[in-house]
Amino acid sequence: METVQAAKEVNGMIAFTLVVPELQQLLLEEAGKAGIPVVDIMGPMIDGLSRLFQREPKREPGLVHRLDEDYFRRVEAIEFAVKYDDGRDPRGLLRADVILIGVSRTSKTPLSMYLAHKRLKVANVPLVPEVEPPEELFMIDNKKCIGLTIQPEQLNNIRRERLKALGLTSRANYANMERILQELEYAEKIMKRVGCPIVDVSNKAVEETANLILDILRKGGTAV
């Protein structure tokens, strides 16, 4: 082996992190023949962890780099979700893997962050009767868009609690039932215009809704 020969020429030693048993054995044998000292850096730790967790190591080269790639993709997706949250920049809709649309307090932001941890680039757009949706919303593939709706009574309760947390009166128009019905009706019209699947988030945890969305995406945008 070239490595063993190079170490022999400089009277050196070999420290290695090989995870494939056959390669480990080959290196140990060749180094032993040449009288080169060797140190297995990761072997004892892997063996110790294997005994502790009673699981066999995968012994696949390159897993660390694959984990790094996965980590950076997740970070990129999270940064994307933050940048294009709440319709801040409609240009992000054309670059997103998923676009969430719905009225205020339908969990658009929490869902965006949850899906970002699944390495999906998510943008979301609030639907408000007085504000025309960005034209980019009608340019995207409708299979990438998910409409979020909710039962009026539950939305009313959520908005009342939100106002209370902000120190505002629950009589504000934001929590007015007539206003809520108007918003939901408007949002439904926009969703039908886009032609996207619609998910009812009523009484659902973020994780549950996110799994529904992922299932829809896997099925190619089938409505639920």
Q: For residues 202 and 188, what is the distance between their CA atoms, to the nearest angstrom?
A: 15
Assign 224 a pLDDT band (cuts: 50, 70, 90): very low
Q: What is the dihedral of CA 71, 77, 80, 81, to 10 degrees?
A: -120
Indicate if the pLDDT at residue 93 is higher than 90.
yes
Tell me if 39 is assigned to a ligand binding site.
Answer: no
* Residue ranges per structural domain of the chain: 2-53, 75-218
Tell me if 103 is assigned to a ligand binding site.
Answer: yes
Whether the Cβ atoms of residue 13 and residue 7 lie closer than 8 Å to each other: yes
pLDDT in tens, 107-118: 999 999 999 999
Indicate if the pLDDT at residue 188 is higher than 70.
yes
Q: For residues 196 and 142, what is the distance between their CA atoms, to the nearest angstrom?
A: 5
Tell me if 50 is assigned to a ligand binding site.
Answer: no
Q: For residues 2 and 10, what is the distance between their CA atoms, to the nearest angstrom?
A: 13
pLDDT in tens, 38-53: 998 978 888 888 899 8
Percent of the chain with pLDDT over 70: 96
Q: Is 129 exposed, middle or buried (0-12, 13-18, 19+ CB in 10 A)?
A: middle
Assign 70 a pLDDT band (cuts: 50, 70, 90): confident
Q: Which CATH class is domain 75-218?
A: alpha beta
Check residue 87 and give left, alpha or beta (phi > 0: left; psi -120 to 50: alpha): left
Tell me if 112 is assigned to a ligand binding site.
Answer: no
Per the listing, tokens 């990438």 go with 144
Tell me if 202 is assigned to a ligand binding site.
Answer: no
Indicate if the pLDDT at residue 153 is higher than 50.
yes
pLDDT given for residue 223 in this prediction: 47
Residue 161 is encoded by which pair of tokens? 């609690």
Q: What is the mean pLDDT of the chain?
A: 92
Beta bridge partners of residue 198, listed in sequence order? 147
Q: For residues 45 and 48, what is the distance between their CA atoms, to the nearest angstrom?
A: 5
Q: For residues 16 and 6, what is the distance between their CA atoms, to the nearest angstrom?
A: 14
Indicate if the pLDDT at residue 222 is higher than 70.
no
pLDDT given for residue 159 in this prediction: 96
Q: For residues 57 and 205, what is the distance between their CA atoms, to the nearest angstrom?
A: 35
Q: For residues 97 and 74, what is the distance between their CA atoms, to the nearest angstrom?
A: 13
Per the listing, tokens 């020969």 go with 5
Q: What is the dihedral of CA 15, 17, 22, 25, to 10 degrees?
A: 30
Tell me if 193 is assigned to a ligand binding site.
Answer: no
pLDDT given for residue 66 in this prediction: 63
pLDDT given for residue 160 in this prediction: 95
Tell me if 106 is assigned to a ligand binding site.
Answer: yes
What's the mean pLDDT in 177-199? 98
What's the mean pLDDT in 149-159? 97
What's the mean pLDDT in 70-95? 95
Backbone φ and ψ of 199, nearest 5°? -115, 130
Reported as type and span, the H/E element at residue 35 is none
What's the mean pLDDT in 161-187? 93
